[in-house]
């Protein structure tokens, strides 16, 4: 007979557990909101299953005694599963109550990770020609949930005299004809968890001004507010 992972595998064990539940329900029914009628149903189904088991154990097994045994125990186990799902998963039952019923304590619900609220402060460092190193840190907000601080989304764009011509030359499409007025104008982006991230540019971009804007991103891709834009000349 198939059972769930929390119910005993033997029929005798199932009767023992059901009898234990009856005792616990009679002692705690009011607190757990299990009324006398529901306890009586469990008593009746437990007694029926036990009678069928005694019949099967006391004489040679026949198809009729086997069918009776299967029906009675299915009826009992289905009602116990129903009771567990509909009556026991309530805030008023503690993990100690669950243990007293020979059940695994309820798992604590995980608090959802909120959208980020931190801003970032960013600046640049230089290394070799054509490479700009973006450096950043969090601007800590009081009572913010640090689980939302998974990393940052970096948007950037390069200011040139003729964006179309520069795109044709380099194959890049992050060019601007003037300094951006808002971070949303910065078309290129990447995600990083590194506090120092090197960004390489084509040789043709050397001497041009690149603008950056950062915002915190959580593991679900939700983004926080923009930090201040900052810029540098590509070496």
- Strands, E assignment, the chain: 119-126, 131-139, 151-159, 175-176, 188-192, 196-200, 209-217, 230-233
Sequential pLDDT tens for the chain (235 residues): 444 468 898 999 999 999 999 999 999 988 888 999 999 999 999 999 999 998 888 877 788 888 889 999 999 999 999 998 888 877 678 888 888 898 887 666 677 888 888 888 999 998 789 999 999 998 876 667 778 888 999 999 999 999 999 999 999 999 999 999 999 999 999 999 999 999 999 999 999 999 999 999 998 899 999 999 999 999 9
Per the structure, the count of domains in the chain is 2
Q: Is residue 217 part of a domain?
A: yes
* pTM, rounded to two decimals: 0.56
The pLDDT value recorded for residue 88 is 83
Read off the CATH number of the domain in which 212 is found.
2.60.40.10
Q: Is residue 174 part of a domain?
A: yes
Token look-up 């520069």 returns 166
Q: Is residue 106 part of a domain?
A: no
Residues 171, 154: Cα–Cα separation, whole Å: 20
Tokens of 105: 């304590």
The pLDDT value recorded for residue 77 is 93
* Whether 216 and 168 share a structural domain: yes
Q: Is residue 58 part of a domain?
A: yes
* Whether 89 and 188 share a structural domain: no
| CB 201, CB 132: distance < 8 Å | yes
Q: What is the 3-state secondary structure (H, E, C) of 212-229?
A: EEEEEECCCCCECCCCCC
Q: How many residues does the chain have?
A: 235
* Whether 229 and 126 share a structural domain: yes
| CB 42, CB 32: distance < 8 Å | no
Domain residue limits at 166: 119-233
* Whether 173 and 216 share a structural domain: yes
* Whether 93 and 188 share a structural domain: no
């Amino acid at each position: 007979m198939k059972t769930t992972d929390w119910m005993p595998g033997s029929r005798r064990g199932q009767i023992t557990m059901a009898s234990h539940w009856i005792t616990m329900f009679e002692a705690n029914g009011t607190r757990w909101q299990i009324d006398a009628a529901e306890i009586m149903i469990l008593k009746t189904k437990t007694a029926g299953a036990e009678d069928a088991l005694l019949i099967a154990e006391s004489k040679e097994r026949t198809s009729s005694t086997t069918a009776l045994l299967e029906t009675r125990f299915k009826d009992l186990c289905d009602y116990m599963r129903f009771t567990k799902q509909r009556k026991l998963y309530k805030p008023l039952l503690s993990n100690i109550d669950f243990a007293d019923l020979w059940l695994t304590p309820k798992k604590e619900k995980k608090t959802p990770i909120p959208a980020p609220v931190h801003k970032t402060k960013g600046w640049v460092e230089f290394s070799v020609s054509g490479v700009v190193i973006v450096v950043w840190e969090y601007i800590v907000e009081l009572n913010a949930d640090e689980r939302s601080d998974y990393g940052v989304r970096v948007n950037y764009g390069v200011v040139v005299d003729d964006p179309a011509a520069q795109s044709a030359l380099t194959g890049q499409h992050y060019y601007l004809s003037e300094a951006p007025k808002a971070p949303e104008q910065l078309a290129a982006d990447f995600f990083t968890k590194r506090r120092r991230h090197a960004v390489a540019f084509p040789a043709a971009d050397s001497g041009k001004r690149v603008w950056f804007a950062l915002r915190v991103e959580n593991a679900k891709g939700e983004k926080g507010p923009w930090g201040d834009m900052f810029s540098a000349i590509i070496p």
